[in-house]
């Protein structure tokens, strides 16, 4: 039996949407993707019990009220409904030790759920001048490098302490809680990956490996393969 992986979506103009590379990357790695709509907050325990893994996808900004801040002038589009359902899903998944893979917005949401915060706009709030993190190249193309902690699961999966990644964000995590291990940073100091300590599988990255995986990038494909392997083992 292939593992069932829940994927979060966004909604606008009365339509749900999800970039196809998320779905394709799960399929290519051997999983069965299940897209999760808004409005299931009261049923998350039942929903999580049917899943073998959770993929927290990228998308719009997270409302700053969830990390006790007022909105910054450069805050982008937000979606309270999406924030509410994803926070509920993440909490239920963590409670059940469900394998979690969090991407871009996903790493930010995970950091908030565990008690951390965000730079609402790194170009104006980060302590030093950042790199270009919202690249002008195509989505699947690498933009800048990240340095990976050699003691991390991320390093074991990728097998390299420095890789080139794509970059499509203007927010980033800050005040990282002690339960998270920082596993990768960009050269400007922006946190690019974390993983949850003492947890079967919980990796979060700021870049978009789904875009690079469908374009054939071996490191990105390895991340999805390891995630699906963890999902396969979850209920055994």
Residues annotated as catalytic are: 104, 208, 210
CA distance 221 to 7: 17
Which residues in 10-111 belong to E strands, given as ranges? Answer: 10-12, 15-17, 32-36, 53-56, 100-103
Q: Which two tokens stand for residue 219?
A: 């490191």
Q: Which two tokens stand for residue 15?
A: 């339509």
Residue pair 186/144 in contact by the 8 Å Cβ criterion: yes
Burial 3-19 (b: 16+ CB within 10 A, else e): bbbbbbbbbeeeeeebb
Residue 19 three-state SS: coil
Residue 51: CA atoms inside 13 Å, Cβ hemisphere, count?
28
CA angle (132 as vertex; 212, 76 as ends), nearest 5? 90
Residue pair 119/130 in contact by the 8 Å Cβ criterion: no
CA angle (106 as vertex; 157, 101 as ends), nearest 5? 30
């Amino acid at each position: 039996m292939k593992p069932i992986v829940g994927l979060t979506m966004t909604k606008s103009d009365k339509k749900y949407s999800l970039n196809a590379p998320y779905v394709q990357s799960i399929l290519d790695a051997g999983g069965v993707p299940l897209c999760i709509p808004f409005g299931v907050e009261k049923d998350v325990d039942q929903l999580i019990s049917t899943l073998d893994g959770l993929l927290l996808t990228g998308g719009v900004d997270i409302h700053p009220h969830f990390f006790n801040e007022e909105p910054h002038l450069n805050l982008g589009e937000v979606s309270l409904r999406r924030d509410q359902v994803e926070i509920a899903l993440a909490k239920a998944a963590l409670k059940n030790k469900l394998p979690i893979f969090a991407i871009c917005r996903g790493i930010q949401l995970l950091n908030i759920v565990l008690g951390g915060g965000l730079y609402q706009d790194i170009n104006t709030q980060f302590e030093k001048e950042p790199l270009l993190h919202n690249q002008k190249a195509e989505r699947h193309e690498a933009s800048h490098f990240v340095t990976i902690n050699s003691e991390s699961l991320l390093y074991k999966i990728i097998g390299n302490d420095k890789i080139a990644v794509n970059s499509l964000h203007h927010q980033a995590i800050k005040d990282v809680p002690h339960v998270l291990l920082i596993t990768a940073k960009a050269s400007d100091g922006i946190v690019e990956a974390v993983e949850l300590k003492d947890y079967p599988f919980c990796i979060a990255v700021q870049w978009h490996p789904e875009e690079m995986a469908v374009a054939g990038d071996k490191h990105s494909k390895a991340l999805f393969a390891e995630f699906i392997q963890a999902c396969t083992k979850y209920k055994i």
